[in-house]
Structure 1
């Protein structure tokens, strides 16, 4: 189990160092070309892991694949913003980020069966096949909007106010995701502490994941339909926090789990649309690099704090309570984000 945790951590380790330069690479070499290179890196990492079960090979493969995955996240978020800023941006971002839980859910269904029937190397090859499909889709079907093509390679200046706004938006995204991580990481352990079997605890908490795949796009659609994305962020994060506290204390676990899953995904699309409000097309690539640098730097710290809180307090429910506190901080940071944006707008007005 410890080795699995190390391999998972190694996959995300390049994020802190590569998210910011990844945005710069996209601006210099073009988004599509950089994404294709990122997908090839992911494929190379998977094939390397399939070639040998040696620990050093597994670590090297995870690092290579993780490097590609980080670049993919940074630049494809920017590419979605290029297409949908000023239109259904929250819905588009919700569908985009929803690929993460949906992909995990599909993997949890298929990969264990492949591993049991054919062995672990075939798992890597199966993942590699999915990566090849993504490579083909990107290579042959994606085209950038004309406005983005005309700006490729151009440099834009990022003001200090823009950096502050992007950091605030990324902090909201980081804390929101940590709230989810506390559920997935410590929810099963909490139920085991109450006497549940590990299998029953894991399958029950997984309901949150399945419902999140539904609530995320619904939240994005509502944000665009009502034009009240900030209200959905505030209501969604507060509701998610209160339901998390309920889950950590209630004996009615299944209704609480269903309620968490139905609510927790609602703010995701609106949160991810925040950077597009302050980033111009010329600064979008470098801005998303800043966004993901903060996210990848903060996520492991928050996860470690949640684990450390559970140890002295003697219960995994402490980690869920910690996640609820992080979620309640999101509306406060959103207020700060609004203040920064308002200051930018006032500065942009012509003086009379």
Structure 2
């Protein structure tokens, strides 16, 4: 079966549609369990720290496997690794729906996170290959931003009504089956671009290339820059509804709407962020200004009241995904050192660093909330968002690919 197509014409936009469906299922089956927290908590006798652990363990599996995903993409091919990720996350969600107790929920959230990790790094890499040099940040904004946010909104809001109608386990089962359908469609139609097929197909791992990527200082700095805001975003998107119920006595429907507002705000954020990132002369500013502003918003959240909390919820969702579109495009712009077959590993490194925040920040939030209440927990999120964003200013300004056509030859000759 032919597994590549020319990037000319409309093919790249059809591939973007398929990859965007993959991102929808990614976050649908990531976030839909949060819509069930109000049922799972009483069902298994869980409090906020135990529910926060479910968030953290998904992100542990998700984060630990980002760099190994790059190795697997080298060894088995980018497309095959991406498809394996969709399959594993979907099966993990189906198994979660059948979990008999909290211990099984913990184990299955790790496994489901591993599947998500296999998909996401390869998904960003595939989009980069199809849109290299043309509308890259916009394409990443549509797929890794807008589609990502749409899936999360479905999981956090639409799944509240579905859970009320059919039970939490059946709702998660439906999410897993949707993932299986997207896997089948992608298996049949997803392709790689002809001009990068050789680089993206299965091959022996070149450890010199791995070392070059993992030793790239700029990737480390930009990865750390989003560590705090990344963890704060996922904590807020899944626990702000719990805060609203406890503090403002929202109904479950109102709380679910607030959670959905956070992630839906990422849809315009991703497209606007991608548009400006493709045209910006200083990409670092597009990446780093939003998490700084996000941190400031979280610092004032516990003092903002109902209206202020709604406004901050919108800006949390908008700002993180605005930054994320440019952030995920940066390995493609460091084209003097990061080549097509390296992008999955490069994205994996950055996502691993961010996922450390995704694991530790919800845990910190849960522990602080249990010890002193929500006020200190929200301030904690704001502080870590700002501190880590400042680190990113030490990174080199990402380069534009057209100026780096001779870089690969120079690097490979240097290796020889």
> Into which bin does the TM-score normalised by the smaller protein fall?
0.7 to 0.9
Mean CA deviation greater in 238-247 or 53-62: 53-62
Partner of 1:68 in structure 2?
Answer: 115
Partner of 2:332 in structure 1?
Answer: 276
Gapped regions of structure 2 (runs ≥ 5): 1-40, 412-416
TM-score by length of 1: 0.82
> In the alignment, does 2:369 pair up with 1:316?
no
2-structure distance, mates of 1:202, 1:123: 15
Query: The residue matched to 1:72 in structure 2 has which SS?
Result: helix
Q: Please state how far the C-alpha of 1:332 moved relative to its aligned partner.
A: 2.4
Confirm or deny: 8 A CA contact 2:227 2:388 kept in the other structure.
no
Partner of 1:303 in structure 2?
Answer: 362
> In the alignment, does 2:167 pair up with 1:119?
yes
TM alignment of 1:122-141, pairs within 5 A: 122-141=170-189
> In the alignment, does 2:298 pair up with 1:244?
yes
Mean CA deviation greater in 168-177 or 198-207: 198-207
> In the alignment, does 2:219 pair up with 1:219?
no
2-structure distance, mates of 1:55, 1:241: 33
Partner of 2:126 in structure 1?
Answer: 79
Partner of 1:168 in structure 2?
Answer: 221
From 232, 251, 266, give the equivalent of 2:286.
232
> Alpha-carbon deviations, 1:112-142, whole Å to 9, x = none?
3333333344323311321122112321221
2-structure distance, mates of 1:195, 1:124: 28
Partner of 2:65 in structure 1?
Answer: 18
Confirm or deny: 8 A CA contact 2:86 2:183 kept in the other structure.
yes
Query: The residue matched to 1:274 in structure 2 has which SS?
Result: helix
2-structure distance, mates of 1:85, 1:290: 20
> In the alignment, does 2:385 pair up with 1:327?
yes
Q: Aligned pair in 2 of structure 1 residues 140, 214: CA closer, same or farther (>3 Å)? A: same
> Alpha-carbon deviations, 1:119-177, whole Å to 9, x = none?
34432331132112211232122111123311132635233784322222221232221
Mean CA deviation greater in 7-16 or 78-87: 7-16
Partner of 1:291 in structure 2?
Answer: 350
Q: Please state how far the C-alpha of 1:236 moved relative to its aligned partner.
A: 2.2
Partner of 2:29 in structure 1?
Answer: none
Partner of 2:232 in structure 1?
Answer: 179
Q: Please state how far the C-alpha of 1:72 moved relative to its aligned partner.
A: 0.9
Q: Aligned pair in 2 of structure 1 residues 28, 317: CA closer, same or farther (>3 Å)? A: same
Confirm or deny: 8 A CA contact 2:137 2:277 kept in the other structure.
yes
> In the alignment, does 2:396 pair up with 1:338?
yes
RMSD (Å) for aligned C-alpha atoms: 3.3
2-structure distance, mates of 1:63, 1:224: 35
Query: The residue matched to 2:95 in structure 1 has which SS?
Result: helix
Q: Please state how far the C-alpha of 1:188 moved relative to its aligned partner.
A: 4.3
